[in-house]
Amino acid sequence: MPSGHKEVSSWLRQAGKPAWMMGVLNCTPDSFSDGGQFFNVDKAVQHGIQMHKAGASLIDVGGESTRPRAAFISIEEELKRVIPVVQTLVEAGCSVSIDTRKSEVMRQAVEAGACMINDVTALSFDEHSLSTAAKMGVDVCLMHMQGTPKSMQENPCYEDVMQAVIGYFEARIEACLQAGIQQTSIILDPGIGFGKRHQDNLHLIMHIDVLKKYFNLPVLLGVSRKSLIGTITGAVVEDREFETGILNAFGIYLGVDGVRIHNVALQKRANMMAMALSDARYGEE
């Protein structure tokens, strides 16, 4: 389902509207936050529909865990996990993004109705990903990650994490444009927790407006329930929604366009407050 040519990205947050919400749907047995809860197709679909009804703009369906030290799974296994879920959610009226780094999974998911490709490797893992995304004509979310999910937290190091992220995105955006992907189809995710130290994560969140202003592209922030929160507050994974709301609100205030979250109904309230503050600040300017 090609998105067609567009003058301005539809994923840029508009004044008076809250940041769009990407609801996390892990169809995996081992994801860090909810591994195994939605491994069953029927349970996954039911949860996706609930998030859609609660206000999620996208349901982000993933079949391979990208937590630290996660194992690689085959294309066949990933397809078996995600395609029935994508197809059923689309038939139920949900907009779906496919969270994958494999071009064949991208292709089949878009053919099943997915409208966005969300790739933690920014379309670099699979040599066919760029051409597949261009051919399918859907929006793409490019994430920054140092290393791979299996190794990314083994002593990550940066001289300047923001400059590293900016340089990486410059190269990946150019690769997308050369492949035929429209600039207005690109969304950027700085990859909080992906090959980053504690101080790197905080720096990126505190200065996410730098990333936004530099590229003038939609920015997605994914901090929901991440270990950064547990390190600071000691909260267990299942009890990090309060801190997630604070981090998301701070990001939205600084210009973030979308947030990737687990509890859509609860985070929608924090999202609306952040929208009001951001609009009041920038409206005054």
Residues annotated as catalytic are 226, 260
DSSP 8-state class, residue 187: E
Residue 130, judged by CB atoms within 10 A of its CB (0-12, 13-18, 19+), counts as: buried
Please check whether residue 165 is in contact with residue 144, taking contact to mean a CB–CB distance below 8 angstroms: yes
Q: What is the C-alpha to C-alpha distance for residues 160 and 162, in angstroms, rounded to an integer?
A: 6
- Residue 225 to residue 244: CA distance in whole angstroms: 6
d(CA 57, CA 268): 11
Which residues of the chain form beta strands (DSSP E)?
20-26, 58-62, 96-99, 116-119, 139-143, 186-189, 220-221, 258-261
Name, in order, each residue with C-beta under 8 angstroms of 44's C-beta and a sequence gap of 6 or more: 25, 27, 38, 61, 85
